[in-house]
C-alpha cells in the first residue's frame, strides 16, 4: 500500500471515529434543553426528566468497559457497525415514543448502543496511527467531541423551539448514515485479539450496582425512603456494586483492573473526576431547567446561556494544558475546580425574574475559566501516570468514572430539589454543585503529584 493510500485510509478512519463518537456525546448534552418540552407533551415531572437523562447514562456508563472488551474480541469495525445501527434504531424509537415509559426504555437501549461507539472508535484510531500522528489524531478526535458538547444544547434549543423535541433524537440518523457510508468505503479488514476473556458477570454486577441506587434516588420522592420499593433496590444495588469491585479484584481479565488505582495520580485523579463530573452534570442540568421552567426562557435562549462555557473552554484549554505541561498539573487541577465552584456560588443571586447578565453571567464565566484550567491537566495527569500500553483501558475507566459520576449526580438532584423546582431549590442545587467542585479541587491539591514525584509548593 503506497503512502497516499495509507494517508487516505487514515483520514477516513479519523472521520469515522469522530462522527461515531459525535452522536454519542451529542445525545448526552442535547437532551437537557428538550426536557421541559418532553415533560409538557408526555407528562411526568422532575422524576421523568431525571430518568430521560439517567436511563441513557446508566447503560452507557456501566457498559463502556464491556464494550472495549467486545471490540477486542469481535473486531472494532463490527462493534462500531452494530453500535451505529443500534444507536440509529433507538434514536428513532426515542423520537416516536408515545409515552414516558417507552422514551425511558429507548434511552436505556440508546445508551447501550452508545457504549459501543466510543471505545471502538478510539481503538480504530490507535490501530492505524502511530507515534506523534496518533497523539495528533486523538487530539482531533477530542476536538470533534468538544464540538458535540457545543452544538448539542444549541441544536437542541433550535429544534425544540422551531420544530419539536422529537427532532432532537431524529437528527441522529444523518451523521450515522454518513458514518456507515464511510465505513463501506474504507473496506478495512477487522482485527480480533486472541486470548481475551469477556467479564460478563462483572458487567451484570456493574449494571445492577448502578441501577438500584439510581432508581432509589429518583423515585424516593414518590414512595418515601421507608418504602420497601426504595430500600430493597437501594441496598441490593449497593451489594451488587460491592460484588463488582470484588469481581474486579479476583477476575483473570477484569473490566476495570484494580492495579491501575494503585498508581497515585490515576487513583486520585479519578476520585477528583467523580466530584468534578458529578458537578458538571448537575450544573448543566439544573441551569437549563431553571431558565426554562422557572425563569420562562425559550429553549434556544436557555441553551445560549451556557455558550460562554464552550467558547472559553475551546479558547483556553490548550493554553492551560501547555502551562500544566511546564509546571505540572497539580495546582491547575486544584484551583480550576475551586474557581469553578465559586462561579456556581455566585449564581445564588439568581431570582425568579432572572437578570442573566447580572445574576448568572459572571458566575458562568468564572466557572468556564475554572473548567478550562481543569480538563486538560486532569486528562494529562491521569493518562500520563500509566504506560502507553495501558492508555486504552485507562481512558475507558476514566470515561466510565465521569459518566457514572454524572449519572449519580443527576439522580441525587431530586433529593435536593424536593417537591418542585423553584428559586430556593435552584439555590440548593447550585450550592451542591459548587461544593462538589471545591471538593474536587481539594482532593487534587492534597493527592496529585507533579512529574518526578515532587509536589511543588507544599
The x, y and z cell numbers of residue 25, run together, are 456525546
Mean pLDDT of 21-27: 78
Domain boundaries, position 405: 260-450
The x, y and z cell numbers of residue 366, run together, are 468564572
Tell me how crowded residue 389 is: count the other CB atoms within 10 A of its CB: 8
Do 41 and 157 fall into the same domain?
yes
* Structural domain contains residue 64: yes
Quick check: 183 and 80 in contact, CB under 8 A? yes
Mean pLDDT of 18-42: 83
| C-alpha to C-alpha distance for 233 and 93, rounded to whole angstroms | 28
Residue with the bigger pLDDT between 43 and 101: it is 101
**For 116-171, how does the pLDDT look when each residue is reduced to its tens digit (9 = 90+)?**
887 777 777 767 776 666 656 766 666 666 666 666 777 788 888 888 999 989 88
Confidence band, pLDDT 50/70/90 cuts, at residue 458: very low
pLDDT of residue 136: 67
Residue with the bigger pLDDT between 95 and 136: it is 95
Whole-number average pLDDT of the chain: 83
Is residue 457's pLDDT more than 50? no
Stretch (H or E) spanning 39: helix 3-42
* Structural domain contains residue 456: no
Considering its fold, how many domains does the chain have in total? 3
Tell me how crowded residue 410 is: count the other CB atoms within 10 A of its CB: 26
| C-alpha to C-alpha distance for 208 and 214, rounded to whole angstroms | 10
| C-alpha to C-alpha distance for 22 and 12, rounded to whole angstroms | 15
**For 289-306, how does the pLDDT look when each residue is reduced to its tens digit (9 = 90+)?**
899 888 888 988 888 888
Do 140 and 268 fall into the same domain?
no
Quick check: 440 and 275 in contact, CB under 8 A? yes
DSSP 8-state symbol, 90 = H
Residue with the bigger pLDDT between 214 and 395: it is 214
Do 338 and 243 fall into the same domain?
no
Confidence band, pLDDT 50/70/90 cuts, at residue 3: very low
| C-alpha to C-alpha distance for 401 and 281, rounded to whole angstroms | 13
| C-alpha to C-alpha distance for 302 and 295, rounded to whole angstroms | 10
| C-alpha to C-alpha distance for 225 and 235, rounded to whole angstroms | 12
| C-alpha to C-alpha distance for 258 and 439, rounded to whole angstroms | 24
Do 425 and 283 fall into the same domain?
yes
Do 410 and 441 fall into the same domain?
yes
Do 352 and 208 fall into the same domain?
no
Quick check: 201 and 26 in contact, CB under 8 A? no
Q: Which of 354, 357, 371, 323 is nearest to 146 (CA)?
A: 371
Do 2 and 75 fall into the same domain?
yes
Quick check: 270 and 277 in contact, CB under 8 A? no
Do 332 and 215 fall into the same domain?
no
pLDDT of residue 456: 41
pLDDT of residue 436: 97
Stretch (H or E) spanning 416: helix 391-417
pLDDT of residue 2: 45
Residue with the bigger pLDDT between 4 and 341: it is 341
* Structural domain contains residue 350: yes
In CATH, what number is assigned to the domain containing residue 45? Answer: 1.20.1250.20
| C-alpha to C-alpha distance for 396 and 202, rounded to whole angstroms | 15
Confidence band, pLDDT 50/70/90 cuts, at residue 454: very low
For the entire predicted model, the pTM comes to: 0.81
Is residue 452's pLDDT more than 80? no
Q: Could you please report the per-residue DSSP string of 222-281? A: HH-TTSHHHHHHHHHHHHHHHHHHHHHHH-SS-SS-GGGGGSHHHHHHHHHHHHHHHHHH
pLDDT of residue 240: 93
| C-alpha to C-alpha distance for 111 and 90, rounded to whole angstroms | 9
Do 337 and 215 fall into the same domain?
no
Q: Where are the alpha helices (DSSP H) in 328-385?
A: 330-346, 361-383
Quick check: 299 and 160 in contact, CB under 8 A? yes
**For 359-375, how does the pLDDT look when each residue is reduced to its tens digit (9 = 90+)?**
999 999 999 999 888 88
pLDDT of residue 439: 97
pLDDT of residue 147: 65
Confidence band, pLDDT 50/70/90 cuts, at residue 92: very high
Is residue 267's pLDDT more than 50? yes
Is residue 6's pLDDT more than 60? no
> Last residue of some domain: 165, 195, 225?
195
Is residue 252's pLDDT more than 80? yes
Is residue 446's pLDDT more than 90? yes
**For 381-436, how does the pLDDT look when each residue is reduced to its tens digit (9 = 90+)?**
887 787 766 666 777 788 788 888 888 888 888 888 877 888 999 999 999 999 99
pLDDT of residue 328: 85
Quick check: 382 and 443 in contact, CB under 8 A? no
* Structural domain contains residue 15: yes
Do 234 and 293 fall into the same domain?
no
Do 150 and 119 fall into the same domain?
yes
| Helix, strand, coil % in the chain, rounded to nearest 5 | 85, 0, 15
pLDDT of residue 195: 66
The x, y and z cell numbers of residue 8, run together, are 487516505
Rounded to a whole number, what is the largest CA-CA distance in the chain?
A: 69
Amino acid at each position: 500500500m503506497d503512502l497516499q493510500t495509507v494517508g487516505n485510509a487514515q483520514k477516513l478512519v479519523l472521520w469515522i471515529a469522530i462522527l461515531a463518537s459525535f452522536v454519542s456525546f451529542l445525545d448526552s448534552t442535547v437532551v437537557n434543553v428538550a426536557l421541559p418540552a418532553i415533560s409538557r407533551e408526555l407528562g411526568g415531572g422532575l422524576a421523568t426528566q431525571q430518568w430521560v437523562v439517567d436511563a441513557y447514562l446508566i447503560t452507557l456508563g456501566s457498559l463502556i468497559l464491556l464494550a472495549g472488551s467486545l471490540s477486542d474480541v469481535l473486531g472494532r469495525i463490527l462493534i462500531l457497525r452494530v453500535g451505529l445501527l443500534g444507536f440509529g434504531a433507538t434514536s428513532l424509537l426515542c423520537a416516536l415514543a408515545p409515552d414516558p415509559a417507552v422514551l425511558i426504555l429507548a434511552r436505556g437501549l440508546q445508551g447501550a448502543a452508545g457504549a459501543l461507539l466510543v471505545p471502538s472508535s478510539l481503538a480504530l484510531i490507535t490501530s492505524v496511527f502511530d507515534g506523534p500522528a496518533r497523539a495528533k489524531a486523538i487530539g482531533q478526535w477530542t476536538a470533534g467531541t468538544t464540538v458535540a458538547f457545543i452544538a448539542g444544547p444549541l441544536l437542541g434549543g433550535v429544534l425544540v423551539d422551531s420544530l419539536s423535541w422529537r427532532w432532537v433524537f431524529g437528527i441522529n440518523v444523518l451523521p450515522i448514515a454518513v458514518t456507515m457510508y464511510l465505513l463501506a468505503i474504507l473496506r478495512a479488514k477487522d482485527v480480533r485479539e486472541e486470548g481475551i476473556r469477556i467479564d460478563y458477570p462483572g458487567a451484570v454486577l456493574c449494571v445492577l450496582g448502578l441501577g438500584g441506587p439510581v432508581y432509589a434516588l429518583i423515585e424516593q420522592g414518590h414512595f418515601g425512603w421507608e418504602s420497601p420499593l426504595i430500600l430493597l433496590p437501594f441496598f441490593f444495588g449497593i451489594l451488587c456494586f460491592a460484588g463488582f469491585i470484588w469481581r474486579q479484584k479476583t477476575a483473570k481479565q477484569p473490566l476495570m483492573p484494580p492495579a491501575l488505582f494503585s498508581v497515585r495520580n490515576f487513583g486520585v485523579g479519578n476520585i477528583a473526576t467523580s466530584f468534578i463530573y458529578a458537578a458538571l452534570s448537575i450544573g448543566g442540568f439544573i441551569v437549563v431547567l431553571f431558565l426554562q421552567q422557572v425563569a420562562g426562557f425559550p429553549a434556544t435562549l436557555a441553551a445560549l446561556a451556557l455558550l460562554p462555557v464552550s467558547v472559553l473552554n475551546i479558547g483556553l484549554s490548550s493554553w492551560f494544558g501547555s502551562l500544566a505541561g511546564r509546571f505540572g498539573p497539580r495546582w491547575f487541577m486544584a484551583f480550576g475546580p475551586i474557581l469553578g465552584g465559586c462561579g456556581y456560588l455566585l449564581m445564588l443571586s439568581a431570582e425568579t425574574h432572572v437578570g442573566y447578565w447580572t445574576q448568572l453571567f459572571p458566575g458562568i464565566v468564572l466557572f468556564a475559566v475554572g473548567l478550562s484550567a481543569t480538563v486538560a491537566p486532569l486528562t494529562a495527569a491521569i493518562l500520563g501516570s500509566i504506560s502507553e500500553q495501558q492508555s486504552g483501558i485507562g481512558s475507558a475507566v476514566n470515561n466510565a468514572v465521569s459518566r457514572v459520576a454524572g449519572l449519580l449526580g443527576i439522580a441525587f438532584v431530586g433529593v435536593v430539589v424536593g417537591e418542585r423546582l423553584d428559586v430556593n431549590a435552584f439555590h440548593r442545587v447550585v450550592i451542591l454543585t459548587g461544593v462538589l467542585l471545591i471538593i474536587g479541587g481539594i482532593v487534587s491539591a492534597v493527592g496529585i503529584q507533579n512529574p518526578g514525584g515532587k509536589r511543588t509548593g507544599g
